[in-house]
Amino acid sequence: MSATADIHAYTKAEDVFAACAEFLVERLAAAVRDRGVARIALAGGGTPRRLYQLLAHRYRDALDWQAVEFYFGDERNVPLDHPDSNFRMARLSLFEPLGIQPHRTFPMISDQQRDPERDADAYEVALRRWTAGKVPRFDVTLLGLGSDGHFASLFPDTPALAERERLVAVNPVAKLHGHRLTLTFPVFEAARDVVFLVLGNDKRPSLARIRDGLAELPAERLAAKRPTHWFVDRAAARAP
């Protein structure tokens, strides 16, 4: 692993979530203090739900949450009110409990009925709105890790891995028999802080590969290219 990976491992899941929450709040508060706004790209999947609940309940007074803009690293090809929607998960576990105004949240609107390419273009415009056309620098991108080494919806052997121009891609994922919308490598490479939240035995082999400095699978390539922060439990961190 050529770039630095700052790994924080805890035995209890609650300690992992608390440590990650502390880190996020510190980074977001600093962004609000220094730039008047903080921008975070949220992770989807199952793992971050408990983290979002913790932020909404234990850290509701830790910063001006109305000065934070919430984006997404990726989204499933389902309506926003579908149980599998990353936006829905964040709305129920974070936005609504914190009373975040809807115009501070930026769903990666994707729906079977809608044209995904048009959604990706629209999200790209939304991102380039605050960067005068350049690659946006999120204050934090929060990510999970797939047991196949994917992050966001950058899965192994998928076309979006090679995307260097677009910030948002429609990524066909054969094993999902469909596509996902995902931010691309340049966005994650440009972020001020990249934070991985990884828990559970099933993530042990992919985390071990990253620790061993391999740089083949998507998350390995990101960790090899730039500094990353890892909040993991011992189940995931133990040697396979």
| Stretch of residues binding ligand 6PG (CB under 6 A), selected from 38-46, 119-127, 167-175, 206-214 | 38-46
Residue 123 CA to its chain's centroid (Å): 15
Contact 43, 51 (CB under 8 A): no
Residue 151 in the binding site for ligand 6PG (CB under 6 A)? yes
From the CA atom positions of the chain, what is the Rg in Å?
Answer: 17
DSSP 146: -
Residue 146 in the binding site for ligand 6PG (CB under 6 A)? yes
Q: How far is the CB of 36 from ligand 6PG (least distance, A)?
A: 28
| Stretch of residues binding ligand 6PG (CB under 6 A), selected from 19-27, 45-53, 103-111, 229-237 | 45-53
Residue 116 in the binding site for ligand 6PG (CB under 6 A)? no
Residue 43 in the binding site for ligand 6PG (CB under 6 A)? yes
Q: How far is the CB of 64 from ligand 6PG (least distance, A)?
A: 27
CA distance 84 to 69: 22
Q: Rank residues 44 and 136 by Cβ distance to ligand 6PG and give the closer one.
A: 44
Residue 161 in the binding site for ligand 6PG (CB under 6 A)? no
Q: How far is the CB of 85 from ligand 6PG (least distance, A)?
A: 9
Question: 97-110 burial by CB neighbour count: b if 16+ within 10 A, else e?
Answer: ebebeeeebbbbbb
Q: How far is the CB of 45 from ligand 6PG (least distance, A)?
A: 3
DSSP 184-217: -HHHHHH-SEEEEEE-SGGGHHHHHHHHTT---S
- As separate numbers, helices (DSSP H) first and strands (DSSP E) second, the chain gives 9, 9
Name the site residues for ligand 6PG (rule: CB under 6 A): 43-47, 73-74, 76, 86, 144, 146, 150-152
